[in-house]
Amino acid sequence: MPSVMGWMKGMMALVAAAFTMVNGVVDAIVSVIDDPAAVSAQPHRGDQQQVGDLLAPTTTPYGLPVADAARAAWGTTHSTYPATDIFVGCGARLVSPVHGTVLEVRRTDAYDPAVDNPATRGGKSVAILGFDGVRYYLAHFDTIEPGLAVGQRVELGQTLGTMGDTGRTSACHLHFSISPPCPGTEWSVRRGVVWPYPYLDAWRRGEQRSPAAEVDQWVTDHPTACADAMADPYAPDA
């Protein structure tokens, strides 16, 4: 039976080699876990953000802030600051673009053309703090859901109200903006600091592109923005 014995010895050698390989992998993993320097050298969220927004981890799914995506239209420009006006039609259903928490609800249209207070130009409005840490501001509502309240959790696609023409506007549309949340009342950061339309384009295609990295970079580049905005004389009216 020399051929059988030879086969058995060969199999035993392969098994031994396999155990040696597994032990080596386990030892390598354990050594990385035990070595803080090795752990800190592993890829983290910041490294992934450098690859691109599509690879950045997010804590919320994203979607358009209007229920009727097929009819929604928007452009690539806006006044003198980054924001996007979305057109569907008067009474169109407006929804949350993220999972998040309600930051502000303005149910009264306090805008007076004779005064043109910039803090009230949005008319009836809602602000949401997404679970990604980004603030999403929606303005010019006609109606706002009766039960919507500050501090309430909202889900992606949850109805917020209907599209209108309150505030400073000449036609029904949704003013949609993206910004970091400020610790106090203000209007000039809330109105928008990064362009929303590239994210709207991506969300319409079903891509989960996060604005968090761009907003974080804006904060780094404008460290006093919130303080300056809260010091504005119209800030208390926001």
What is the dotted CATH code of the domain comprising 58-237?
Answer: 2.70.70.10
Strand partners, 86: 74, 174
Q: Own/partner pairs for 32-41, CB < 8 Å, 24+ apart? A: none
Separation between Cα atoms, residue 52 and residue 26, nearest integer Å = 32
Beta-bridge partners for 154: 100
To the question of pTM greater than 0.85 for the whole model, the response is no
**What are the backbone angles phi and psi of residue 96, rounded to the nearest 5°?**
-75, 135
**Cα 214 from Cα 194, distance rounded (Å):** 7
How buried is residue 200: exposed, middle or buried, by Cβ count under 10 Å (0-12/13-18/19+)?
buried
pLDDT tens for each residue of the chain, 238 residues long: 444 344 434 434 433 443 343 344 334 333 333 333 333 333 222 222 232 333 344 579 999 999 999 999 999 999 899 999 999 999 999 999 999 999 999 999 999 999 999 999 999 999 999 999 999 999 999 999 999 999 999 999 999 999 999 999 999 999 999 999 999 999 999 999 999 999 999 999 999 999 999 999 999 999 999 999 999 999 999 9
